[in-house]
């Protein structure tokens, strides 16, 4: 029996797919089946794989992904346990659909839904309480980077977004520079390495706990061609992938970095 992602294998790298608002049922099924086939044929990888489809596909894809030991995640959840929140999804509903993970604080949620870091921390607390692992996103805008404020902005986001609850076992950080998402532009290796070190320091200072085993993923224009360069940077423990995760072959090309 394969271990569900995020349990005992706490320090394994993670490659996570964020499909965002993409995928009709048929597309989603084809994509998940394609990925499951590649995973089952591809042998052992030294990473965990998580797929975060739109909520309409979660339950539908659960079994095919589970059969290939690919974990399922949601893209967001509400900070309340349940109640009068039309259109929202609760953490427990995600669990009920087979999810082990949820992405929180993605820059598209922060920008399009006015989500603050305080909201993200509340959502994270609720998600952890429901038994989910949290992939908590932080990242600076292009203006922040240009004005030399990237470290401060990301550090402040992280400090406020981190819930009191949780540990490195059930919280993963994803560094996603907003200007690198879907643009084909990525920070250089030194900038990524420096930010990931900073994130570890802030995490340690904020949670005053053990930072060993904390996984910090990089996200923003990761593809099969640049994956090995990015994933080889010290302090990068995996990737959160948008566009390239909409093709099973391209996404697998990223995961394959962790192959033999």
Which residue numbers are catalytic?
106, 176
Q: How far is the CB of 139 from ligand 13P (least distance, A)?
A: 9
75 touches ligand 13P by CB under 6 A:
no
Please report, as residue ranges, which positions from 205 to 244 form the binding site for ligand 13P (by CB under 6 A). 219-222, 240-244
Residue 189: its H or E element: helix 189-207
DSSP state of 180: G
Q: In the chain, helix, strand, coil percent, each to 5?
A: 45, 15, 40
Return the structure tokens found at 246.
Answer: 């909409």
> Does the protein bind ligand 13P through residue 168 (CB under 6 A)?
no
The 10 Å CB-count burial string (b at 16+, else e) for 63-98 is: ebbbebbbbbbbbbbbbeeeeeeeeebbbbbbbebb
| 150, 181, 192, 216: which one binds ligand 13P (CB under 6 A) | 181
Closest contact distance (angstroms) between CB of 21 and ligand 13P is 12
Q: How far is the CB of 208 from ligand 13P (least distance, A)?
A: 28
Q: Give the other-Cβ count within 10 Å of 204's Cβ.
A: 15
Question: Which single residue brings its beta carbon nearest to ligand 13P?
Answer: 242
- Under 8 Å between Cβ of 26 and 57: no
Q: Does 139 bind ligand 13P (CB under 6 A)?
A: no
**Does residue number 79 form part of the binding site for ligand 13P (CB under 6 A)?**
no
Neighbour-count burial of 36, counting CB atoms closer than 10 A to its CB (0-12 exposed, 13-18 middle, 19+ buried): buried
Contact characters 92-131, ligand 13P, x per CB under 6 A: --------------x-------------------------
Q: Which residues bind ligand 13P (CB under 6 A)?
A: 18, 106, 176, 181-182, 219-222, 240-244
């Amino acid at each position: 029996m394969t271990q569900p992602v995020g349990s005992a294998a706490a320090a394994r790298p993670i490659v996570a797919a964020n499909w965002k608002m993409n995928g009709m049922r048929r597309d989603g099924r084809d994509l998940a089946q394609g990925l499951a086939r590649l995973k089952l044929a591809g042998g052992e990888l030294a990473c965990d794989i998580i797929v975060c489809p739109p909520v309409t596909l979660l339950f539908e894809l659960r079994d095919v992904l589970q059969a290939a030991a690919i974990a399922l995640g949601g893209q967001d959840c509400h900070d309340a346990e349940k109640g009068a929140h039309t259109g929202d999804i609760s953490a427990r509903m995600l669990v009920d659909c087979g999810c082990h993970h949820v992405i929180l604080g993605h820059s598209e949620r922060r920008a399009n839904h006015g989500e603050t870091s305080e909201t993200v921390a509340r959502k994270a607390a609720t998600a952890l309480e429901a038994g989910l692992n949290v992939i908590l996103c932080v990242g600076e805008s292009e203006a922040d980077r240009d004005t030399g404020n990237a470290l401060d902005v990301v550090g402040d986001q992280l400090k406020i977004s981190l819930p009191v609850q949780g540990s490195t076992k059930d919280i993963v950080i994803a560094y996603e520079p907003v200007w690198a998402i879907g643009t084909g532009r990525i920070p250089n290796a030194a900038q990524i390495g420096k930010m990931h070190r900073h994130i570890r320091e802030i995490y340690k200072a904020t949670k005053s706990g053990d930072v060993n085993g904390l996984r910090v993923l990089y996200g923003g224009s990761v593809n099969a061609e640049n994956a090995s360069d990015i994933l080889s940077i010290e302090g990068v423990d995996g990737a959160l992938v948008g566009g390239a995760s909409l093709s099973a072959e391209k996404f697998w090309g990223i995961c394959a970095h962790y192959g033999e």
